[in-house]
Amino acid sequence: MATRINKYLSEVGYCSRRRADKLIREGKVIINGKIPEIGAKVEDDDEVVVEGQRIEKSRKQKNIYLAFNKPVGIVCTTDRRVEPDNIIDFIKYPKRIFPIGRLDKYSKGLIFLTNDGDIVNKILRARNNHEKEYIVSVNRPITKEFIHSMSNGVEILETITKNCFVKQLGQKKFKIILTQGLNRQIRRMCDSLGYRVQSLERVRIMNIKLDVPTGKYREFTKEELLGLNELLENSSKTID
C-alpha cells in the first residue's frame, strides 16, 4: 500500500513529518533515483534515499508505546546535549523514541514516549480535547474562591483558560483535569491567583493512568492501546 513519503519517514523513525517535508524541499530525499514533490507516495519496494542514506524496508519497526513516570529534574527533550538531565539518556531505551508533549523540569508524573509520529500529532492537537489529570500541592490553604476561579478560567498568556474540572483533595492539595496545554499552564494559573505550586504530578493522560514507580516505564497494554485508538479515532491530524 502506498504511503506518503513524510509519513513513511516518520514511521521508520528517521524524522518527523515536518522535518521530512523540509528535507524534500531541500532536495535531500530521493525516491527511485528522482527527487519527489511534497505529498509523493512510496510503495514498500521503492528505493528511498535520505541525505545520502538508503532507508531499508527492514528499518520499519514495530511501534513502541511507553508510559513513563518522569522524576523531577528530568527535561523532556531528545537533545542529547542536555546531558545528563534529558529524558532519552535517563531512560536509555534501546531503540529511538521521543516524548509526546512535555512536563516541565520541576514537575513529575506520566508522559508517553513512542516512535509513532501519527499518534504524536493526534494527541498534541489541543482542539481534540484529550484529558490530562494532575494532582497539585500549593503553598497555602485552598479556598472556595480559588477552586471556582481555577474551574471557570484564569487569565494567563493573554488568554482565558478553558473551563476545567477542579476538586479539592486536602487543605493545600487539589486535582485538576485539563483539555488544553498552555505553557506551564497550572503553575501560571496558580500564580495568577496568588498561589505557588509546591508539587505537580500528572497521573493520567486520556485513558492511561500512572501506575509505575518514579523513574520507571512500561509498555501500553493491548487494552490501553485499543482504548487510546478509539479516543483518537475522530482526532484531527496535522500535515506535520
pLDDT tens column, 169-192:
999 999 999 998 899 999 999 999
Average pLDDT over residues 100-123: 89
pLDDT tens column, 206-217:
999 999 999 999
- Say if 238 falls within a structural domain: no
Cell of 182: 498552555
CB 190 within 8 A of CB 138: yes
Distance CA 227, CA 208 (A): 9
Among residues 46, 89, 104, 191, the one annotated as catalytic is 104
- Type of residue found at 204: R
Cell of 10: 516518520
- Say if 168 falls within a structural domain: yes
Q: Is the domain of 199 the same as that of 219?
A: no
pLDDT of 128: 65
Distance CA 217, CA 5 (A): 31
Q: pLDDT confidence of 239, banded at 50, 70, 90?
A: very low
Number of neighbouring beta carbons within 10 Å of residue 35? 13
The structural domain count of the chain equals: 3
Please indicate, yes or no, whether the overall pTM of this predicted structure exceeds 0.85: no
Cell of 118: 501519527
CB 5 within 8 A of CB 42: yes
The three-point CA angle 67-102-226 to 5° equals 35
Omega of the bond leading into 84 within 30 degrees of 0 (cis): yes
Residue with cell 490501553: 224
User: CATH code at 12?
Assistant: 3.10.290.10
Structural domain including 22 reads 3-59
Q: Is the domain of 200 the same as that of 182?
A: yes
Beta strand 173-178 pairing with 165-170: antiparallel
- H helix runs in the chain, sequence order: 5-11, 17-25, 87-91, 117-124, 144-152, 185-192, 222-232
Q: Is the domain of 136 the same as that of 151?
A: yes
User: CATH code at 79?
Assistant: 3.30.70.580
pLDDT at 220 over 60: yes
- Say if 179 falls within a structural domain: yes
pLDDT tens column, 80-104:
776 678 999 999 999 888 898 889 9
To the query of whether residue 104 is one of the catalytic residues in this protein, the response is: yes
